[in-house]
Every structure is written in C-alpha cells, then in structure tokens.
Amino acid sequence: MRKLSILFLVAAGIFSANAQDIITLKNGDEIKAKVTEITSSEIKYKRFENPDGPTVVVAKQDVFAINYENGTREVINTVTTGASTVRTSENTILSGPHQKDFYTGIYLNPLGFVMAGPVLGAEFTINRRFIIDGHLRFLPAGLLTGLLWEGSSDVSNTKGIGVGVDVKYFTGGSKGGFYIGPSLEYYTIKYNCEGGNVFVEETGIFVAANLGYKFQFSSGFYMRTGGLLGLASEISKFRNGVERPLDTYAVYMLELCLGFSF
C-alpha cells in the first residue's frame, strides 16, 4: 500500500511580497516605491522599504513609466532602445518582452528528471500581473517516480502523464518578482511492481498552492524557482484489475524552471 509521504520541502526563502509601485527610469533602473504626487516636472514618492521616511523627488524627465500596485501602467516618457523596441497602437515605445502588457513564454522544469517527471509548459501573462500556465508532466522520465508512487524502487514499465494548469499573481517588474497562486493537475499512471507480478493503474488530482520567485532578463530568458504544497486525491486505483480503497495525501514539490518569453 503506497503512502506518498516522501516528497520535497518548499524552497527556503520563498515568501509573499507586499504590493508596491515600480518607477522605471529611462536608464532601465527600477525603484520600489509608493508614489505620493506627480507634478508637471517632478514625481514624489516614499521608499517602499521606508514608507514613513522622507519624501523623495525624481525629475519627471528621467522617468520612463510607473507600474502601480493595482496592475495599471502609466508611461511618462517614451524611450527608443533600438531593435528590441516594440510600438503599441498608441505609438508608445516599449522595450523588451517584459514591458508588454501581454506576452507568452515556454519553459522546461528539468528538476523533474530527478523527481516525478520533467514538466514542459507554456505561460500566458496578462497585464504583466496575471500568469496562466498550462503544462504536461512526463512521469516515466522521473528518476524517483516509482519510489514516490509505490514506496519502492522495484517499479518497471512505467507509463503515465500529468496535465495541469496554474494561475499566478506576479508582483514584480521587468527584472523579476514573487508569484503566488493555485495549481491543479490531473494525472494517470500505470506500472509493474513486486518483481513484475503486480500491475497498478491509478488516476488522481493534485491541488496545491504554487509560490516562488521569477527572474526575468531583457533578452526574454527567465528562470523560476519555487515550490508547490498541496493534496493529491486518488480518483481510481487498481492492482491486478482489483479495485483498491482510495487515498488522499500531502504532496510537496520543488520547481526550477528555465524558459523564454516573447
């Protein structure tokens, strides 16, 4: 009787971040702030890490755009950055893939090769804050798939796949930030165990909270590191064609995804 109680602790140092305004300067620097006033020549703000401190002033002519904590964006000055620029319908120039309000990306989670299977997915980012993620998990390619499902390395002829969707809220700017949201995955798996004498068939659903940090680069390359914490609930389970009692168990998984957005 398998008990899936041996998975992985969520990466240390991952924690949720408070909302903030992001002031992007023309030179590409970003300032985490709480904007208090915008005049014809100046932008006044409080430093995000010191909201009760003094008011800081930056010249309006030095500012490219402000991304507010509610997800809206205000372009203060247009900037020309060469071949990597794109032009919106309002003729506003935006630099790099992460300055667009909508962009897509593809990614691979190679850490799955030593866990319950690598993951290949696609991300769709809306308003630069909300990420919808669809993915496939290839269970037979996971080094620990048999151990995690059966509690034993005596597993052969593994077949199966996981199909999932995540919805994340992204708190960062063009250079990266924290994300958090729900994850849902349906899986089906078949394998032989106990010297090949037992054939197991199982389907189930995995529901979890997904949180971590996403590093973004102007080239379009990005990296996500984080983890999932949730529950897996079996829908059906058979051993040699005989239906077995269903189980629900806690699941912990790590992620290390490499991707490219465009």
Judgement on whether residues 132 and 222 belong to the same structural domain of the protein: yes
- Sign, CA dihedral 97-92-80-39, equals negative
Is 11 within the bounds of a domain? no
Q: Which of 70, 93, 116 is the last residue of a domain?
A: 93
- Cross-strand pairs, 180: 169, 211
Asked if residue 55 lies in contact with residue 36, where contact means CB atoms within 8 angstroms, the answer is yes
pLDDT digits (tens, 9 = 90+) for 110-131: 999 998 899 999 999 888 789 9
Judgement on whether residues 246 and 219 belong to the same structural domain of the protein: yes
Model pTM above 0.75: no
Judgement on whether residues 85 and 146 belong to the same structural domain of the protein: no
* 156: CB partners within 8 A, 6+ apart: 146, 191, 192, 193, 196
Is 135 within the bounds of a domain? yes
Asked if residue 162 lies in contact with residue 174, where contact means CB atoms within 8 angstroms, the answer is no
Specify the pLDDT at position 19.
Answer: 64
pLDDT digits (tens, 9 = 90+) for 128-159: 789 999 999 999 999 988 888 888 888 999 99
Owning domain of residue 138 = 103-261
- Eight-class DSSP state of 3: -
| CATH code of residue 161 | 2.40.160.20
More confident residue, 183 or 115: 183
More confident residue, 23 or 148: 23
Is 12 within the bounds of a domain? no
Q: Structurally, how many domains does the chain consist of?
A: 2
Is 190 within the bounds of a domain? yes
Asked if residue 34 lies in contact with residue 45, where contact means CB atoms within 8 angstroms, the answer is yes
Residue 231: closest CA among 184, 189, 165:
184
Is 112 within the bounds of a domain? yes
Q: Which of 93, 113, 140 is the last residue of a domain?
A: 93
Is 197 within the bounds of a domain? yes
| CATH code of residue 83 | 2.30.30
- Sign, CA dihedral 34-37-41-42, equals negative
Residue 206: closest CA among 232, 187, 183:
232
Judgement on whether residues 68 and 139 belong to the same structural domain of the protein: no
pLDDT digits (tens, 9 = 90+) for 210-253: 999 999 887 889 999 999 999 999 999 999 999 999 999 888 88
Specify the pLDDT at position 79.
Answer: 58
